[in-house]
Structure 1
C-alpha cells in the first residue's frame, strides 16, 4: 500500500494529510481540522466530545472514521483519527464555527447543482465544459475529450447488447 504524507495549510495552520494510492483517496487528520475550524485550545478533547455526541445521534460518519499513523508534533508516528474528503465534509457540518460556514455553503451549493443535474442531465455536460475551460484546456481538446467519452459509451453499450 503506497501512502504519501503531506502537510496542508489552511489560514497558516497545518493539517496533516495522507494520500493512499491504493484507495486513491486523501485522508485528513480530524483533530488538525477541528483545531483550524474551532481555534480550540484542546482540539483532541473537542473531537472526543463531538464524536461522543455524533455517536449518540446515530451518525454513521464517526463509525466510518478510522485511525492511521501520522507524524505527531513530537516527531513520532502516532495513530490519529482520519477522515476522507466526504467524511470530513460531513463532520464539518457538525461543527458550529464561522470558519466552517464557507464549507457548509459550498456543500449546499454542490448538492443543489447535483439535484438540478439529475433533473436535466445536460447541465452536467455544461458544467464539465466550464470546468475544463477553467483548468486551461483548449476548446479543441475539450471537444476531442467529449467525443471520446461518447464513443466509449457507444462501444460499451454495444458490448452489453452482445452479451
Structure 2
C-alpha cells in the first residue's frame, strides 16, 4: 500500500523515505520490539497485538507532529531522485 503511494514497484521502500518517514517507521519497530521483550509474548496473536501497539505508538506520534506542523509527513515524493539521464529519456 505504501509502495503504491510512492509509485514504487520493486525498489526498496526505505530508500525512498524521507527523514520523518524513517523516524516514525523506526519508532514503531523499536516500540514493538520493546513491548514484545517486556511482555515476553509468544504466539502469532500476541505478537500481532504487540505489533499493533507499536504501530499505534508511532502513528500517534506522527499524527501529533502533523497536527503541530499543519501538514502531512507522509508524502508521495520519493527521497531518492531519478538520475538526470533517466529524466531526459522520458
TM-score, normalised with respect to structure 1: 0.20
TM-score, normalised with respect to structure 2: 0.34
Structure having the higher strand fraction is 1
Structure having the higher helix fraction is 2
Which protein has the larger Cα radius of gyration, Structure 1 or Structure 2?
1
